[in-house]
Amino acid sequence: MFKEFGYVSLVGRVLGVGPSGRLLQGGQPVSPPPKPASYEGPEVIFFSAVESTPLADTTVYPDAAGNFRVDYSGGGVPPGKYKVAVQVRNGDPESDTLQGKLSRQNTTIEFDIPQDKLGSTHDIGVIELSSHVK
């Protein structure tokens, strides 16, 4: 057994929280399903909402059912406040069928990762795009 000091343990292992959730649009998984190599489908980008939380932008690709999980550096993310940007590509790296409405600069999606979830997972629930894109 080892003692944890914040985000790094005494044995040097990164400890964090593995946030997971589901991305839907109109109650259904976002179409087309993700194919990152060909710039198709949804990208979910996690980034810190405050400068004090040490996290580089992290992009994950939901599965065909819309489920996703962030596994930053193999150990999850540190507890803190986060924002989520969403882009839906349609074959071009610059494309976004949401027209930037949920870009890093415009997103309204925020959530907290609680300290008491350190070393485990945290379900942030369903992100329903139609609730955020007006």
Q: What is the pLDDT of residues 78-101, one digit of tens each?
A: 888 999 999 999 888 888 999 999
Task: Say what the pTM is.
Answer: 0.82
Residue-level pLDDT at 54? 65
Question: How much is the pLDDT for 27?
Answer: 95
Q: What is the structure's pLDDT at 105?
A: 94
Residue 111: predicted pLDDT: 93
Q: Specify the CATH number for 4-132; select among 1.10.150.120, 2.60.40.1120, 2.60.120.10, 3.40.47.10.
A: 2.60.40.1120
What integer pLDDT is reported at residue 40 of this predicted model? Answer: 85
Residue 41 pLDDT: 87
Residues of the chain with pLDDT under 70: 1-14, 32-34, 36, 53-55, 72-74
In angstroms, the CA 41 to CA 97 distance is 9
